[in-house]
Every structure is written in C-alpha cells, then in structure tokens.
C-alpha cells in the first residue's frame, strides 16, 4: 500500500468503504499502487491499468484501455460521450462490489494482458472531425491562428473542436472561438495551465484560483 493513497482514503467523506473494497481487490491482483492526477492509480510494469474515483452519485473503477477488453459480463460503460479508450464500472454500495469480486479481478487480469502484449487504442484523430464553419472562417482571415491550431497535439485540437461545435448557435460558436484564440496562439490546450503555478504541468490544477486580484 502506498502512504500517499492511505492519506487519500483517510480524507474521503463519501464512498470510502466502497473504494477501500475496490482497492483491496486491485492489490490482490498484484498491481502497484500510486497516486496520480489526485486519484489512486494502479500500474503494471509502470503502465497505468486502472484508476479509482468517487463522484456525487457513485464511485468507479476506470480501465484506461477498457475499450479493448472483451467485457463478457457487459459491465463497462464509457465515462463520457466522446471517450475513446477508458471504460468504467459504476458502484453505489459495497454489496455490488463483493458480488462482482471475481469478475472485477478477471477484468483487471485481462487489462494487464492487454498492456503485456502492447495493444493500443486506435484513437480517432481530430483531423477526422468536421471543423465548424466559424473556425474555418477565422482561419481564412487569421493564418497565424490556423498554423497555431494545426501545431497543437491531436488531443488538444479534438478538445477545441468538440467545445466549439457543441453549441447549435453560430454566435455562441464564434464567441467561444474568439475567447480561446489567444490560448491557441500561445500553443495551449483548453485544459492547459496558463498561470505557470500548476503542479501538474502542462495541465491546470486550479492554482490560478488562488491568485490575488490586483487592487
């Protein structure tokens, strides 16, 4: 057991018993326990396999390459509409976890095998996404914006495209693009740190919220 994860569990106000049960199951499978992204993460040969998390209505075990698992018991669901790789199992009580203990272990062992043989998720690239007309129009008038956008990693491009296209209103899409233009020109993704204080660079950990406003 990792002392950092012990501290994480000691501070939990919800789902502590459920997550402790999942923790025990995972450790029985021989994985290494770490604290990554502020959550208990379990690795095999330094490769991330599963992560535990607690939310308002449930707690979850997340399989980082869950989409590659056979999911014989049909338990896995995508954590979000656009999730390409991760798949989760949701729980709301300890009884559910105990009942599925053998199955959860089987899923974990399969996830480890996926990493052992080097299987990778064929991620859909942002270039396959249709760019909103408002962004294409900006590219015509601002070549630097186009070059900066194309220089971003596929994941960062994808995040922007999904956010810009999410609104059905053209004015809203254009306003969103204008708001994030400088960030794109600076080579930053939507969730990247821009204040320089994050301890999880390049990601933002919310440190900017503690900056004092100038008087």
- Do 103 and 141 lie in one domain? The reply is no
Q: Based on the domain organization, do 101 and 133 belong to the same domain?
A: no
Say if residue 11's pLDDT is above 70.
yes
- The answer on 153 and 103 residing in a single domain is no
DSSP E strands in the chain: the ranges are 32-36, 39-44, 47-54, 59-63, 87-91
Per cent of the chain over pLDDT 90 is: 59
Same domain flag for 44 and 131: no
Residue 101 near residue 107, CB atoms below 8 Å: no
Q: Read off the pLDDT of residues 146-174 as tens digits, 9 standing for 90 and up.
A: 999 988 887 788 888 888 988 888 999 99
Contacts of 100 (CB under 8 A, 6+ apart): 73, 75, 89
Non-local CB neighbours of 180 within 8 Å, separated by 6+ positions: 160, 163, 190
Contact predicate 75/89, CB 8 Å: yes
Question: Would you say residue 12 has pLDDT above 60?
Answer: yes
In a domain, 151, yes or no: yes
Residues 137 and 111 in one domain: no
Asked whether residue 82 is assigned to any structural domain, the reply reads yes
Which phi and psi (to 5°) does residue 123 adopt? -70, 135
Are both 110 and 26 inside the same structural domain?
yes
State the pTM of this model.
Answer: 0.61
Q: Is residue 191 part of a domain?
A: no
Tell me, what's the pLDDT at 153? 80
Whether residues 103 and 176 fall in one domain: no
Q: What integer pLDDT is reported at residue 162 of this predicted model?
A: 85
Rg of the chain taking only CA atoms, in angstroms: 20
Per-residue pLDDT at 126: 41
- Contact between 21 and 53 under an 8 Å Cβ cutoff? The reply is no
Query: How far apart (Å, rounded) are the C-alpha atoms in residues 62 and 87?
Result: 6
Q: What sign does the dihedral 112-68-130-167 (CA atoms) show? A: negative
Torsion sign (Cα): 68, 105, 19, 75: positive
pLDDT at 93: 96
- Are residues 131 and 105 located together in one domain of the fold? no
- Residue 4: the pLDDT is 93
CB 62 within 8 A of CB 50: yes
pLDDT tens digit sequence for 19-70: 999 999 999 999 999 998 889 999 999 999 999 999 889 999 999 999 999 9
pLDDT over 70 at 212, yes or no: no
Domain that includes residue 42, residue range: 3-116
Q: Within a domain: residue 202?
A: no
Residue 215 is predicted with a pLDDT of 42
Residue 210 covered by a domain: no
- For residue 206, tell me if it sits in a domain: no
Q: Which residues contact 119 (CB under 8 A, 6 or more apart)?
A: 65, 68
Q: Is the pLDDT of residue 112 over 70?
A: yes
User: What is the CATH number for 11?
Assistant: 3.90.1150.200
Residue-level pLDDT at 214: 46
Whether residues 20 and 96 fall in one domain: yes
**Phi/psi of residue 211, nearest 5 degrees:** -70, 140
Q: 193 in a domain, yes or no?
A: no
Mean pLDDT of the chain: 87
Q: What is the mean pLDDT of residues 101-128?
A: 84
82-95 per-position pLDDT tens digit: 678 889 999 999 99
Q: Is residue 95 part of a domain?
A: yes
Structure-model confidence comparison of residues 210 and 63, the more confident one: 63
Q: Are residues 143 and 112 in the same domain?
A: no
Residues 31 and 92 in one domain: yes
- Please give the Cα distance from 126 to 98 (Å, whole number): 40
Distance CA 59, CA 19 (A): 7
pLDDT band at 122 (very low <50, low <70, confident <90, very high): confident
Structurally, how many domains does the chain consist of?
2
Other residues' Cβ atoms within 10 Å of the Cβ of residue 116: 11
């Amino acid at each position: 057991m990792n002392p950092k994860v012990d501290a994480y569990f000691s501070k939990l106000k919800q789902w502590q018993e459920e997550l402790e049960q999942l923790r025990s199951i995972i450790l029985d499978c021989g994985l290494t326990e770490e604290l990554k992204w502020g959550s208990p993460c379990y690795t095999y040969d330094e490769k991330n396999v599963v992560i535990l998390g607690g939310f308002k209505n449930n707690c979850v075990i997340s399989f980082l390459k869950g989409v590659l698992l056979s999911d014989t018991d049909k338990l896995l669901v995508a954590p979000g509409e656009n999730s390409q790789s991760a798949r989760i199992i949701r729980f709301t009580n300890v009884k559910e976890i105990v009942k599925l203990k053998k199955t959860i272990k089987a899923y974990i062992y399969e996830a480890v095998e996926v990493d052992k043989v080097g299987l990778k998720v064929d991620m859909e690239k942002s270039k396959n996404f249709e760019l909103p007309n408002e962004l294409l129009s900006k590219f015509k008038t601002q070549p630097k914006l186009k070059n900066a956008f194309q220089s971003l990693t596929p994941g960062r491009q994808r995040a922007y495209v999904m956010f810009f296209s999410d609104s059905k209103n053209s004015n809203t899409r254009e306003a969103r693009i204008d708001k994030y233009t400088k960030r794109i020109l600076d080579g930053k993704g939507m969730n990247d740190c821009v204040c320089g204080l994050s301890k999880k660079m390049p990601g933002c950990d919310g440190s900017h919220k503690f900056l004092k406003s100038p008087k």
